[in-house]
Each structure stands twice: as structure tokens, then as C-alpha cells.
Structure 1
Amino acid sequence: MKIIIAGAGIGGMALAALLRRRGVTAELYERAANFDHSGYMLGLYPIGARVLHGLDLIDDFFATSERMETYTVCNGHGQEIHSYELGQMLDGFGYSGGIMRGELLTLLRKRCEDVPLHFGTSVTGFEQAGDKVEVKLSDGSTNRCDLLVGADGIHSAIRRQLAGELPDHETGWGCWVWIVRDTRRPPTAVVEHWGAGRFLGLYPIKGGLGVVAATPTRIMGPNAVGGDGARVKAHFAVLGEGIADVMAALPDDLGQTFWWQLSDVRAKSWHQGHVALLGDAACAFLPTAGVGASMALESAAVLDDELGRTDARFLPGALARYEMRRKPRADSFQDDSRKLASMMMIESTELSWGRDQLMKFYTLDMLAKTIAQSLAKPI
């Protein structure tokens, strides 16, 4: 079976690695020129990290990530509202850690050393004829395969051809992302500051912290502030002196940071004929619950599982089973991420205060209901 994967992100690379383990070599096309710009952080829950066991990469993950042990929510003045022990939910299921996206891609690439990977080339479209797919590439050439997997992200060209233009679910917020090294903060603590019109998250990675500073786009987005980091620092200063060290690490030139427009999208169907969607191309996630990478790894594992029990003649049935196993679960995680976003991203001072009072009584299971329930469920 010849397989082409559009996109060499977490989902695409994981699928290629899983296929290779079974002796199937896929061909990858990635629009980026290299992996140099894959430098923001992400978290992996046990539901995603366990896929690395099957690739014999779990020890490498332990070595390149930082364990997440506590989760603390503070108000808009830096005062603690509630602190949670993550082990209460995760113990018994596996390891949860923070890692740089580039580090995770490097790990996955170790299992794809002989897999053809074409940087600087994207899949722009396709045509299905019988049981074959003619793939159109950005360099003007074409390729043929039995299966095309669209793992080309939230703005997927594959999804657009399958389903047309789908509206993004917009929060109206975006975030600046940067890394702080050599911090003296507790290395395993996740800390979030929920202010009015401001959100600041501190996430452990090996040797430092990943920082997310979110705010309404119209106020502090790239078009509003240009490249002026000083304006962003001033905007977040009201969160208190406790964040002075991480805000000082924000570059004055915002061109050195990563801007993330906080939106997502949901495909109505994940497959058609001999074409399937994977990762953000199928169901993109807001970062509020931190599940995007875990979901991509899970989906890659399920797709590989279904492909391992069929051949090219029966691909449509295998892809239908893949969608049945994955779409409801991914949609429920996306719903959780959206609900968390509505709690975190509040502009009104009064509503923010009311939210803070309610948070004093929230359990971890209430905050992350779908994650808690999913840990023991089969996929």
C-alpha cells in the first residue's frame, strides 16, 4: 500500500513512524523549509505519551521533557485561587510532561530516518480515480498513491477540498509565546494567571518555562502593537510582581516570539474514499486544555491500527472505522477546550471576579472532565 502524508507535524510524523514499525514506508510532504520554526512548547498527557511506548521513545521523552505535577490558578492580581495535584487524576495511567514541539518532532524523526521527507513542498490538491489518488504538489509535479492522509494543520488544503471552506471557531483572543531559561521557579509547577482581559500561563519544559500571554487580539495583537514588546509588558504588569521575571524575558522585538491566533475548526467528516484527515486538519484544538498533541498521537495510533488490518482494496471501510473510533472522542475534547476558553478569556472585571469565586470550589475533574473520563476508556 502506497501512502502519502501531507504535513510533517506531530500527527504526520507519528503516523509515518508507526507505519514504518510495521514495514510500511509512507512519503511525507512538508510546506516548511525545515523544522527550525517548530519552537513552541506543548504538553503530553498519558493518553498521548503512551503512543511513544509503542515506538520505544518513552525514555527519550522522559529525558527531554519536564514532569507536570501541580496546577495552580491565580487571579488577576497574582493571588492563588486554587491549586491541584495532577497526580490525583493522572497517577496510574502514565506520565504527563511539557516538551518543546521541536524536541518531540526530533524524537519521532528518529523512527523515520529512512522515510522520504520532502521539505518546502506541500500538497495543494488531489483527484480520486477508482482506488488511486493523484496528488498535486506545490512544485507543479504530481504523485500517485493508494491513500492520502491530510495532516496539514488547521488551514488544511486537503480538508478544504473534501469539505469546502469551514468557519473557524474564533475566540477573539490570541497569545504571545516565548521561552524563559534558567528560571528559579518550581520546575514541575504549571501556573496560570486568570485576569480580566489578560491570561498568563507558565508551563514547565526541560531547563525552563514556556510562557503564554493571551489577550483580546484587537488590544494586544500584532496589528495593535506592531513589534513593540514594551506595550505587551505594560499590559500584563497589572498581574503583579510575581510575574516580573517572565515578563522581563519577553523580547522587546516581538518578531522573536510566536503569535498564536486562538481559534479552532472541526471537520464534519474525516474521510472520503481513499483520503483521510489527521490531527488539526480533522479537529483543531485551542491550547486551553493542552490536548492537541495528545489527540494527534492517539489518532495516528488508531489510523495505523486500522490500516494494519486491511489492504488497499478495502480502505474506505478502514477509514470509516477510524473516524468512528476517533471523531466523537476528539469532538468532546474540543468541546472541553472551548468551555475552558470561555472561563479563562473574560474581559469584564465583574465577571472575572465572579469566575474566581466559583473556581475556589472547582475540582480538577470538573475542570478537565473529558480528560479525566478518557484516561480509562479504550480507543
Structure 2
Amino acid sequence: MSDTSPPVLAGVAAESTKPYVLIVGAGLGGLMMGILLERAGIPYDIFERAAKVKPLGALMSISENILPAFEQLGLLEAIEKIALPLKLFSVYKESMEHLGDYYSGRKAKTGYDSLLFPRPKLYELMLKQIPAERLHFSKKVLSTEQKPEGVLIRCADNTTYRGDILVGADGAYSGVRQSLYKQLSAEGKLPVEDGKDLEMGYVCMVGTTDPQDPEKYPMFKDDHTKIMQVAGENSPYTWTTICVAENRICWSVVSQLPSVRAAQDERFRNSEWGPETNEAMIKEIYNFPTVMGGKLGDLIDATPRDLISKVFLEEKMFQTWYHGRAALLGDAVHKMLPTAGQGAVNAMQDAVVLTNCIYHMPSVTPDNITAAFKAYQEHRYPHAKMQFDISRANGKIMSGQTWSERLIRAIVLNYIPQRVLDRSIKGANYRPQISFLPEAKMRGIVPVLPQMTFPTRTENITTSTAVAV
């Protein structure tokens, strides 16, 4: 689609036809939604504000919570090729004194390894599943409008698009959510908590190196990987290094902010971070020692500067996930700390469940859309809330630098038996699958929760098209 001559797009569908879905945001959640709609034969388009994909990000981990869905899509083997299984999580003091280990025993329990890889690798794999004509860049959505006959989005390039359903997958500061909440607030229907800012407690810098010499870093010769974390002793920092496929090293540095006021000041000073703010932090962390030898600066120098990103680690669990013809997913409704590796996983789980609910609508009517969205939130909210709480707790244990948080970290790593930690793998029994594809077989010994059930679709469904407004 060109900005000057938009093509014919699916438009408002009549009763008993497939809905046309507008997806705002081409992150992992938005891409997963697109892949699923593509497989379901439901028309859609994805609108991304960026001009092109920039492969930012460092480590990502996925396991049994979402791998069955990738297995259904025929992508599990491709993911395994870009990943290494996690075997060990080791924590050290800045002096390189060993604090303790946690051994990953997930495969014996769940049937799946925790697979670690650079986040851009998964993004590239998923992006290839989306037909080029369905993904539209430089489409910054300025406003949304709901009407009885459909939903509209208006973009900064003066284009307007109309559909039956709008999905906001556009991140923690979702424009779709802001537009939705503005309407609800004007009607007096927005919960007070949903109107408050995200909470911020950490600042994080991440990157992934270019390929490194296995002779310098012998850990590359293993068929698995481990997470090596260092807790600063006289600073608010913790930093982590992980060897991943293709002889690359993912690294991250987390700084805990000391107070709410400090978080507010940091947000104000860095509302639009640029390269100069990165350089200031790089200078501060450059000489930090790493478990694999050398200093953090060695890895920073081996990482393209334009692929180093600095972000706030914020969190918030929103109460309102949908209204009318619009629904939200991922960070737009549950921004989690990355310490449990569940942010992107939950966004993709949202996409699976939301697509299932849309697919099984008997017809495209406002009442059916509302019922589908209601089922989506009721199913997903308790699971997302549990992972939100786990991520918050893990953040305190692994990245917290207060006296009490250091004490808790030492207790968890040194005094709680491994068998107890293994039993504490929460959420391993929740594995939402794609309802319209053959189920992946259940693996492991952890009992799996039942899948959502839907009435059998018997009607002959067709697709309508219309021109962009």
C-alpha cells in the first residue's frame, strides 16, 4: 500500500461474513495476531507507526506457555534453530563471588525447554509469515472513532481506514488505548486506576553483540546456555550476559531507581531519549566486570551503537481491555517487568485467545463482537495478572538493590531447595492453543488446563471488501 494511492481494503462486513480487523502495532503481539488471522482466513491489515523495523532488543525466552501454539503453526522447529535451551541461572557479586544457582528443570516437568535467543531473531521469523501487502509502515494513528456500522482509524498521513474490529497492539503508551479511554472517561465509565500513569522502578539498557570468537568465549561450544547475572555491590546496577546462537552475546544492565520522585524526574528528563543519553550510561557501566571474562565495555564495543536501546522498565495492569468494537492486547493492557520473560509471551497468548474468540463469532454484529471481547478478557485476565505479579516479585529478587531485596536474593539462591523452586513454576499448566488448527500434543508431567471451548461453526462464511475511506 502506498500513502498516495491506498489499495482496496476489506471494509465493513455484513451479517454472517468474516470481520475485517485493523491491527495497530507491529510488535510481537501484533504480528502474532496477523499470523493467526492469516491462517484463519480472516481479512486484516497491520498499521505500524515506524518507517521500518529496527531490530532492537536483547534476550528473549519462551517455553511451554506459548510453544504449543508455535508448534501448531509449524514454526517450532524454526524457533529451535535460532535458540539455545537454558540450563542454569547463576548470580555473582561484583567481586565475582558466587552467590548461587538456579537449575532449569522445565523440560522434565513441562516437556519443553526454556528457549533463549535474541529477540530480533523471533521478530524476523514472524515477520516472514505476514504477506507484505498486509503490513503498512509509517502509519501513525492519530485518532479512532467508533460508529454503529464500524470503526475508523485516522493516520498522520491523512489516510483513514474503516473496519469491523480494531485491535490495539501498540505498546505501553498505546494510542488506541488513549483514544478508547478518552471516550470512556467522557462517559464516566473509566475506572480511576486506569487513568493513572504506569509505575516505573528501573531503567534498562540492552544489546546483542555481533558474532564473537568461541576461543575467547568457550561457552559457545556448549549445546545449551546459561544466564550469568552480576549484582552491583556499591551501585544500583545489576547486569546480565547470555551466550546465544550464532556466537552472539545478549547483555543487559538494569538500574533501580531509588524512589517514586526519582522515577518521575527520570521520566521528565528522558521523555525522548536519544544517542547522547545512551552514551552517558555507557560511560558509567563500561568497566563493569563480567562472569565470562573481561568487562562489559568489550560487549558494548562489539554491539552496533544504533542497536543499543535504553528503556524504562514500567508496569501496570489495566482493568479495561475493550470497548465497543475495539480491544487491546499485550503491553497496552498489561505492561510487565521483563524479569520473568513474560511480557511478549503474554502478548502472544492474548493474540491466540482473542483470535479464537473472533473466529468463533457466529456473525459480525455489535453484540457478537462485545461477547467475543468479554470472553477474551474473562479468560485472559487472571492468567495475565498472575504473570504480572510474578514479574514484579522476580524484579525485586533479581534486580532489587535495597537491603531487604539483597537478603531475599541470597535466601532464594542459597537456602531454598531446588525441588521447592521446581514446584514453584507457576503458569506451566496454562498453554492456550489455536482452536481452529489441530492441537499440539500435551507434553511433560504437569497437568494442563483445559482449552477454551466454542460452539461448532456450521454457516458458510464469505468475505466482503470495500475501499479505504
TM-score higher than 0.5? yes
**Distance (Å, rounded) in 2 between the aligned partners of 1:241 and 1:84:** 16
Q: Does 1:263 align with 2:277?
A: no
Query: Is the 2:56–2:120 Cα contact (8 Å) retained in structure 1?
Result: yes
1:95 is displaced (CA, Å) by 3.4
Highest relative contact order (Cα 8 Å, sep 6+), 1 or 2?
A: 2
Which among 207, 224, 231 is matched to residue 194 of structure 1?
Answer: 231
Which among 70, 74, 79 is matched to residue 52 of structure 1?
Answer: 70
**Number of residue-to-residue matches in the alignment:** 374
Q: Considering only aligned residues, what root-mean-square deviation do their CA atoms show, in Å? A: 2.8
**Distance (Å, rounded) in 2 between the aligned partners of 1:366 and 1:373:** 16
Change (3 A) 1:280 1:353: closer
**Greater shift in the superposed pair: 74-83 or 252-261:** 252-261
**Distance (Å, rounded) in 1 between the aligned partners of 2:127 and 2:306:** 28
Query: Is the 2:56–2:207 Cα contact (8 Å) retained in structure 1?
Result: no
**Distance (Å, rounded) in 1 between the aligned partners of 2:164 and 2:277:** 48
**Greater shift in the superposed pair: 369-378 or 68-77:** 369-378
**Greater shift in the superposed pair: 118-127 or 271-280:** 118-127
Match for residue 138 of structure 1? 156
Match for residue 338 of structure 2? 287
Query: Is the 2:396–2:405 Cα contact (8 Å) retained in structure 1?
Result: no
String of CA shifts for 1:311-330, please: whole Å, max 9, x gaps: 32111100100011111111
Specify the SS of the correspondent of 1:370.
coil
1:275 is displaced (CA, Å) by 0.3
Specify the SS of the correspondent of 1:295.
helix
Query: Is the 1:6–1:149 Cα contact (8 Å) retained in structure 2?
Result: yes
Change (3 A) 1:357 1:65: closer
Q: Does 1:151 align with 2:169?
A: yes
Query: Is the 2:321–2:333 Cα contact (8 Å) retained in structure 1?
Result: yes
Letter in 1 for 2:76: I
1:370 is displaced (CA, Å) by 2.9
Letter in 2 for 1:244: G
Letter in 2 for 1:194: A
Q: Does 1:377 align with 2:444?
A: no
Query: Percent identity between the aligned chains?
Result: 22
Letter in 2 for 1:354: L
Letter in 2 for 1:274: R
Change (3 A) 1:374 1:202: farther
- Give 1:184-333 correspondences, 5 Å limit: 184-185=218-219, 187-196=224-233, 197-207=236-246, 208-216=248-256, 227-228=279-280, 229-234=282-287, 236-237=288-289, 242-251=292-301, 257-310=308-361, 311-313=363-365, 314-333=368-387
Specify the SS of the correspondent of 2:151.
strand
1:120 is displaced (CA, Å) by 1.1
**Distance (Å, rounded) in 2 between the aligned partners of 1:92 and 1:369:** 10
Match for residue 7 of structure 2? none
Specify the SS of the correspondent of 1:315.
helix
Structure 1: which 5+ residue stretches go unaligned? none
Structure 2: which 5+ residue stretches go unaligned? 1-18, 183-194, 432-447, 452-469
1:89 is displaced (CA, Å) by 6.3
Letter in 2 for 1:233: Y
**Distance (Å, rounded) in 2 between the aligned partners of 1:25 and 1:95:** 34
1:262 is displaced (CA, Å) by 1.1
String of CA shifts for 1:180-213, please: whole Å, max 9, x gaps: 3324335511222233422112234212221111
Specify the SS of the correspondent of 1:265.
strand
Query: Is the 1:18–1:304 Cα contact (8 Å) retained in structure 2?
Result: yes
Match for residue 454 of structure 2? none
Specify the SS of the correspondent of 2:317.
coil
Query: Is the 1:289–1:340 Cα contact (8 Å) retained in structure 2?
Result: yes
Letter in 1 for 2:284: R
